[in-house]
Amino acid sequence: MYNEKIYGGGFHHIAMNAYDIDKTVRFYTEGLGFSVYNTWYKENGEIAGIMLESGDGAIFEIFPGGAKEQPTGILAHIALKTDDCDKAAKAVKALGAQITIEPKDIVINGKEKVIPARIMFFKGPDGETIELFQIK
């Protein structure tokens, strides 16, 4: 659906600050299968930012300089689409990620539509909350 107010629509990217950018990039690329979309550098050669592509065109932008203990409430969570929540959960567990909600079935009984889904939540390396979301 085309958004007439902003002349387009959809999210281009979500961004966060990482405490250890190398560890964070490895977590998302090697662990969750994202690929590097673009990297840019400061004049001194340090990474200024990196964009990772999730597999369907959605971009996750990561900047260095995050606090070791991220405050909560700035970003509630990042939801990643999956076709098989249980298989994806096995991959996440193999990473050693902290699972905060094991895979479970839910039904979102919204006003506009009912959405049956299977979800799970876990923590990323910077304390970010990540959800796996499978529409059933």
β-pairing, 47-53 vs 99-109, is: unpaired
Query: If you average pLDDT over every residue of the chain, what do you get?
Result: 88
* Average of per-residue pLDDT across 118-131: 91
What pLDDT, on the 0 to 100 scale, is given for residue 109?
85
What pLDDT, on the 0 to 100 scale, is given for residue 13?
86
CA angle 40, 45, 50 (to 5 degrees): 25
Amino acid at 25: V
For residue 122, pLDDT beyond 90: yes
pLDDT (tens digit per residue) in 5-21:
867 777 778 888 898 99
CA distance 129 to 91: 16
Quickly state the pLDDT bin for 77 (edges 50, 70, 90): confident
How far CA 31 is from CA of 8, 54, 114, in Å, comes to 32, 12, 32
* Average of per-residue pLDDT across 42-53: 92
Query: In sequence order, what are the residues at sequence separation of 6 or more whose Cβ sits closer than 8 angstroms to the Cβ of residue 102?
Result: 89, 120
For residue 72, pLDDT beyond 70: no
Residue 131: closest CA among 89, 78, 57: 78
* Average of per-residue pLDDT across 50-78: 83
Whole-angstrom Cα Rg for the chain: 16
Residue 130: closest CA among 10, 30, 28, 13: 28
Q: What is the pTM of this model?
A: 0.78
Query: Up-side HSE of residue 66: CA atoms within 13 Å toward CB?
Result: 25
